Structure 1
């Protein structure tokens, strides 16, 4: 098959391109080329999707499937306009952020969506979900439900996760911030998590294209409690020191942020408002062939990648060693 990946040099796009190439397909990536190199054996077309001529080269060829990971509705609109007569199907990697509600675990693809972003440009991550809704609509309008695959991905993790949400915990357990090897964790027993390995997501996207799968699917990892997730991260790191829990009120009162960003604890979210955010029903995708590896394998591989990683500046999620040590000292003094 002839695959056109719109992107292909950043983390997810590159992993999809590599998977399609391993499957023996002819793969071309259209990208600016600023996020990295395309995988070996993959063709590269330089193009800036903000320009009107971005698709001139690829629109002159025929494609069996286009894969798009954009979050900008204008980019998607231009792509489908240029390629709808040149491609057999269109796969759009969306997000579970498109859903209007986050409080109820187990909701499926029929759950209510956020209103679509009205403009062509997402100016802020505050409207990320709305922008992805608008992108989905552009694809479905151009290619129709029968030729469109909308993949509403849950939280993606694994080797290469520069967003720090899947690597923080195994690395923290492997490299505690204090002499007694204590690690601070959120004490939120009801919190659920769903981490999908980037490699499993990419493999399923390629498999689905091969099978001609169409429709809208939640693609997420197995649902486990945050406590279980942390236990797995601790085990793969070989941590034997104390695990110190702090409840959500204490963490928030000490300016520890949920989810991501500076001075945060990844994967933790406020309850009950976000009880369903990482607990979507992905049974339809699994029935359509999605297979996910054990969480322990993902976290162990991510830890190996983290140990080789060279970071520049502050991480995008987690606590610094100094913040972690200070918070642990305050908890111990209580």
Structure 2
């Protein structure tokens, strides 16, 4: 397969490129190159998709294009340049396109946000609408030659967001000498898909020319089950200290991600986030490794890269202070 990956040097894109090369495909990655080198075995085309002529060096016909962009203008420009000579298009989208975060277990028919009006999102609050605009552009241009993967939470080695890294790391490295770890009591669902499994699915969709829209995510676990697996892979000696939503909110602990947060914790009313039905993707062959394997490999990556700054979690000082107050 002659494959063009728009991206290919950042986290997911690099796994897609590496897997495609391993499968024997002829792979070209077009990117600015700011996120790192392209995996060995792929051709690299350095280009800025916001500039005219960005696709001039990727001539010829393509069996598939895989795009991970969140910017509608970039997606539309790529389609203008490549749609007429591409057999199949895979867009990696997001579950953030869904407008109602209270719906648990909904399928691809759930209502989405209105599409972003412009070419470029300017802040993360526009992420869902921007991806809706990207989806509509791809589906309008490619029709049944397109697949849209609405992806939830991604984890695995290289996860700098901190959402999938924090818990195995924290259980392996408690902030207190007695091994106590502050954990949320919430029982909402969590779906974490390994970046390697998502890369494999993305390639499978290109190879089989899957069409339409599918939610793609990890197997569903409650947050308590997820934390139990994280504690197990960390050695199982840490002592969880459960606290409820009201206490966390009163002490300015943030949900989900970001500074001073407890990753994956969701407050009431938004429990539907990251809990969509993945039945359609499963019927099309989605394969997922056990959560324990993902978290163990993520912990090993973190142990090998302790200086990487993560985008979520409590600092040791913040956790010790909160535990002392509790």
Q: What TM-score do you get using the length of structure 1 for normalisation?
A: 0.96
- 5+ residue gaps, structure 2: none
Correspondence 1:291 to 2:287: yes
SS of equivalent residue, structure 1 residue 66: strand
CA distance in 1, matches of 2:131, 2:306: 31
Correspondence for 2:217: 220
Correspondence for 1:188: 186
CA distance in 1, matches of 2:210, 2:163: 30
Deviations 1:59-104 (A, max 9, x none): x221100000000000000000000112111100000000011112
Q: How many residues align?
A: 326
Equivalent residue runs for 1:164-313 within 5 Å: 164-189=162-187, 191-271=188-268, 273-312=269-308
Partners of 2:186 and 2:266 within 8 A in 1: no
CA distance in 1, matches of 2:232, 2:316: 21
CA distance in 1, matches of 2:179, 2:261: 19
Q: CA offset at residue 242 of structure 1?
A: 1.8
SS of equivalent residue, structure 1 residue 270: coil
SS of equivalent residue, structure 2 residue 87: strand
Equivalent residue runs for 1:65-144 within 5 Å: 65-144=64-143
Partners of 1:100 and 1:114 within 8 A in 2: yes
CA distance in 2, matches of 1:241, 1:258: 22
Partners of 1:262 and 1:315 within 8 A in 2: no
Correspondence for 1:28: 28
Decide which of 305, 323, 327 is 2:322's aligned counterpart: 327
CA distance in 2, matches of 1:254, 1:308: 32
SS of equivalent residue, structure 2 residue 196: helix
Deviations 1:117-146 (A, max 9, x none): 0000100001100000000011111111x1
Partners of 2:186 and 2:223 within 8 A in 1: yes
SS of equivalent residue, structure 1 residue 209: helix
CA distance in 1, matches of 2:265, 2:249: 11
CA distance in 2, matches of 1:35, 1:235: 33
Q: CA offset at residue 52 of structure 1?
A: 1.1
SS of equivalent residue, structure 1 residue 329: helix
Partners of 2:29 and 2:43 within 8 A in 1: yes
Decide which of 148, 152, 157 is 1:154's aligned counterpart: 152
CA RMSD, Structure 1 to Structure 2 (Å): 0.9
Q: CA offset at residue 310 of structure 1?
A: 4.3
CA distance in 1, matches of 2:282, 2:195: 16
Partners of 2:172 and 2:238 within 8 A in 1: no
- 5+ residue gaps, structure 1: none
CA distance in 2, matches of 1:243, 1:113: 37
Partners of 2:135 and 2:148 within 8 A in 1: yes
SS of equivalent residue, structure 2 residue 237: coil
SS of equivalent residue, structure 2 residue 65: strand
CA distance in 1, matches of 2:138, 2:267: 33
Q: CA offset at residue 290 of structure 1?
A: 0.4
Which stretches of structure 1, 4 residues or longer, exceed 2 Å deviation after superposition?
none
Q: CA offset at residue 270 of structure 1?
A: 1.0
Partners of 2:90 and 2:205 within 8 A in 1: no
Q: CA offset at residue 186 of structure 1?
A: 0.4
